Each structure stands twice: as C-alpha cells, then as structure tokens.
Amino acid sequence: MGQRWVWMSLESPPNNGDLRPFADLFNLTMSYRRDADIHIPYGKLVPREPGDGEEPVLHNKSVPVCWVVSSYRPDHRRSRLYAQLSDSVPVTVYGRWNHKALSPEDLLPTISQCYFYLAFENSESRDYITEKLWRNAYQSGAVPVVLGPPLKDYKAVAPRSSFIHVDEFASVGELGRRLRELVSDEESYSHFLGWQKEWRVKQYTDWRERLCSICSQHDRLPKHKIYTDLEAWVNV
C-alpha cells in the first residue's frame, strides 16, 4: 500500500522493447532524458576547481579524424555518413568491427592523437548523448563531431563552441572540407578546446550513485503521479 514504482532505463527508445504492458503501473521515470522525474545522464560538465588536474592541451595530434565502432551496420545513418565523410577527409577506425579493438587503457590515449572524434550515436533519440561524447571525445581532448539528437539537445548540456553537429552542414562534403580547414588552422581549432579552462567532465558509471539520486531528490519528487502510457512517453 502506497508503494511507488520507478521505471529506469539508459537505453534509447528502439532498445526498450514493448512497454505497453506497463501502462498505469509506474509512478516515476529515471532516465537520461532531461524531462524524466529523476535525471541520470551519462555525463555532464561541472565547473573546474583547483586540484582537478591539467586540462588537455593541443599537442601530439597526428590523425585528422577517428572513430571507434564495434557494431557496424551499413544501413545505419552513422555508417553512411562515415563512408561519405571518408571520401573527403581521412578517417581512422578502431574497434571490433575492423579488428582493431582498443583496451580501456589505450582508448583515450589513442583518441587524444586525433583532431576530431566521430561521436556518432547508434540512435538519434531525444537527449540520447552517451559516453561517446563525455568520455571518448571530451576526456581525450578530441573535438567531437556529433550525430544523435538535434542540435538543441547538445546545446542544452554542452558549450556551443565545444562540438560540431553534422546537421549544421548542407552536405557531408561540406563537413569534410570544414574539418580539413580546422586541422590546418591551429588557432581556429583551439577555439573548440577553450571550454576545458572552465569545465571538466563528470561521468556517471556507478549504478549506486545513480540509484542514490532517488534518495537525494525524494522530497522533491511528485507524490501522486502515474504513467498511463509509458510507451508514449518513452517514444515521444
């Protein structure tokens, strides 16, 4: 009696399965979605404080663009974009797909040698911004070229000058030309790294920290709420 139920998921809508049987059951949502009752993002930027360590600097970069991918499907938009982009700028690929898997210890040092990292999500869903941005790109010091939710979703969580969204360009060829220009223009490229002076990345990787956020927000959570159509909310 009085039990409240929380639906929790970090998956994009296509990977959540059939949620219709759960209509009129859950009282709260816990998700990377910013409009969830309990927001648990993959990461965020927090103000840099003394003792946080040095921010990445521009040096030892020799690879124009790189991408780490394990699950490659030719029909995905990100795969088509990669193929088209490769026609105008060299893209070095790592991951299980091409038998060049990187160990956890080698991941960030390898990406740090790249000017740009293809932070291409496997789903273009609202607010779905994963470790591809927070860890792979930002923590390595590479500038992310993002594909996922709309530009406005990225602008809501990250400095506008810290990433390049593929939808800003009329064509993939135009995007490739812009990346080539920035590789050759250190001053303009450095502008994309300016956020590091004020911000650092906080990643959420421990489920205990995520679950404990329920307790810290408990008094502010809605008392009388029920999701009559959870599937509709997830797929909005």
| Residues with active-site annotation | 11
Distance (Å, whole) CA 56 – CA 171:
31
Cβ distance 28 to 6 under 8 Å?
yes
Distance (Å, whole) CA 117 – CA 142:
6
Cβ distance 189 to 183 under 8 Å?
yes
* Region of 224 on the Ramachandran plot (φ > 0 left; ψ -120 to 50 alpha; else beta): beta
- How many Cβ atoms from other residues are within 10 Å of residue 72's Cβ? 15
Distance (Å, whole) CA 54 – CA 32:
28
Distance (Å, whole) CA 48 – CA 58:
19
Instruction: Name residue 155's amino acid.
Output: K
Cβ distance 58 to 142 under 8 Å?
no
